[in-house]
Structures are given as C-alpha cells and as structure tokens.
Structure 1
Amino acid sequence: MGAIVIVKPKRGLFHKRIGYAYVASMVVLNITAFQIYNLFGRFGPFHALAIISLFSLMAGIAPALLRQRVKNWMHWHYYFMNWSVVGLYAAFWAELLTRTLPMGQFWPVVMIATGITTGIGSYFIRKQATYLLPPAN
C-alpha cells in the first residue's frame, strides 16, 4: 500500500482511504512484531525498530489529522510517512535476503540491505519533495 500512495496523485479521497489502510496495516504489523521473541528470546533490536516505525507512522499521520493546528503540516506528513514506507521496504529486503541468500551472515546482510534501501529511499524522498511540497515560509 505504501508504494500505491507514493506513486498515485496526492490529496483526495483515494489518497486518504489508502493512507488510512496503510496506517492501520502498519499498526497491526508493528504490534505483532512485539509478540516475536524467537530470535533473541527477549526484547531485541527489531523490537526497537518496531517502536521507531510506530513513531514515524504516528508522526506522519498526526500532522495530516491536525493540519489546521500544525505549521507546515504537509512537510511533516510527507517526510515521516515516506520514511515509514522506506523502513518497511528496508525490513522487507533484509528479511528476504537473509532467508534466500546462502551467505549465513545475518547481520551484514541486514545492514547492507537496510543501508542500500535507505540510501535509495533518501534520494527519492528528497527528489520528490522539491516537486510536491510548497516552499517553506
């Protein structure tokens, strides 16, 4: 759903509906992440990343819901929601590669997948921001 929101035109009923569905899906995903303890047997780094994911999600939706009260709300909404999607993709690539590559090097694969994904995401977020966001006051 994150990709759909990114590539489709912003604003309007479709954007709102798919955005709310994305937020609901991510909240459920992150809550279920707190139930997984197989990897470390206790609170681990992926639980911390779930907290960061929830923070970016809430920090992205709050300005849109409170747009009359938040200065430059579109700026905050755009950046936090896009970073939420980038985090989701980073987790996807890290999970996919650690399960499919025959390396057996868990942490290096996670770090490389995350680094490449966030680097590419950062480039596109900054590039699109120049076209989508109004100039700062």
Structure 2
Amino acid sequence: MHDFVNTSLGWFHFLTSLIAILTGTYILFNPKGTKKHKQVGYVYVFSMILLCGAALGIYNISGEFGVFHILAVAGLLTLIIGMIPLLFKNIQKKYKVFHLWFMYYSVLGLYAAFVSELSIRIPEKPSYMLVGIVTGVIFTIGSIFIFWKEKVWKTYFIK
C-alpha cells in the first residue's frame, strides 16, 4: 500500500482537499446566492486553487507527469470557467446557470479525484481501470443530479 501522505506538500494537498470537499459539499446542498454561499464559495475557490497547484507538484505515484496532473489542470479550468460569469456585475441571469453548471462539475471532479486517490492508494496493486470506473460512476450520478437541478435553475434565473 502506498503512503497516503509522505511529504509537506502531500500534507498541504491533503488539508486543502479536506477544506475543498467540506466547502464544496456545503455549497452543493445549501441555498445559492446568499451571503453565506458567497463566503463559503470564496473559501472553496481559494482551496481548490491551492489544492490543484499542490497536485501539480506531487509525483510519488508514477514519478512523472500523469493523469492526475492532467485532471488537476482540468479542475482549475472548470473552476475558472465557472467563476467567469461572476466577474461581470451586470451579467444576465441566464449566465448564472453557466456558473452553476461549471461549479457543480468542479465539485464532482473533486469527489472523483478523492475516490480515485483512494482506489490508487489502498489496493496492494493500484488499478487505473478502477480509477476510470469510479470516476465514470461519480460523473454519471452527478450529471443526472445536475440535469435535474438545471430545470430548477432555469426557472429561477431565466424568466
């Protein structure tokens, strides 16, 4: 079994991931647009930037740039794209749906990364096929949830 955390950067990555998972989960299941949502959202965004940045410096699984690094870049892009609509003060309401879509996928990616990390580190023989399967299951379930929620978002934001 691989060590879960064996460097200072690994601990930093682990702690920022816990913060991101807690804040991301809070945001998913609580009202949107409130002051609390925005405050917790900024903590989420900041922790995700730190988390993905730290992930780019960790090479103890394969020793080289690999799939987890590519996913960290994808996580950063999803986060940035999700925040773009909020940078404009006079944004049309329909673009808030765009924000919700990408931020939900940002959290889904975080959940998938968590389960993928466990599926690589826990077994004696790590399986990238298992990573693909659990990631696919998480994104399938999450996408069903997002498509269901999109109807609610559109009726709320697009009138």
TM-score normalised by structure 2 residue count: 0.78
Deviations 1:99-122 (Å, cap 9, x if unpaired)? 3346x2411110111011000110
Partner of 1:42: 64
Partner of 1:23: 45
Post-superposition offset of 1:136: 5.7
Post-superposition offset of 1:70: 6.0
Deviations 1:46-95 (Å, cap 9, x if unpaired)? 11111110000000011122252567221210110000000000011111
What CA distance in whole angstroms lies between the structure 2 residues aligned with 1:66 and 1:94?
35
Number of aligned pairs? 136
State which drifts further: 45-54 or 66-75: 66-75
| Equivalent AA in structure 1 for residue 141 of structure 2 | I
| Equivalent AA in structure 2 for residue 108 of structure 1 | M
1:119 aligns to 2:146 (yes or no): no
| Equivalent AA in structure 2 for residue 16 of structure 1 | K
**Residues 94 and 110 in structure 1, CA contact (< 8 A), matched pair in contact too:** yes
1:83 aligns to 2:78 (yes or no): no
In the alignment, structure 2 segments of 5+ residues that lack a partner are 1-22
What CA distance in whole angstroms lies between the structure 2 residues aligned with 1:93 and 1:105?
13
Identity score, percent: 38
In the alignment, structure 1 segments of 5+ residues that lack a partner are none
Partner of 1:6: 28
Post-superposition offset of 1:129: 1.0
Partner of 1:98: 120
What CA distance in whole angstroms lies between the structure 2 residues aligned with 1:88 and 1:69?
27
**Residues 93 and 158 in structure 2, CA contact (< 8 A), matched pair in contact too:** no
| Equivalent AA in structure 2 for residue 116 of structure 1 | V
| Equivalent AA in structure 1 for residue 104 of structure 2 | N
- Bigger RCO of structures 1 and 2 (CA < 8 A, at least 6 apart): 2
What CA distance in whole angstroms lies between the structure 2 residues aligned with 1:99 and 1:105?
7
| Equivalent AA in structure 1 for residue 26 of structure 2 | I
Partner of 2:10: none
Per the alignment, do residues 67 and 78 of structure 1 end up closer, same or farther by CA in structure 2, a change over 3 Å counting? farther
RMSD value, Cα:
1.9
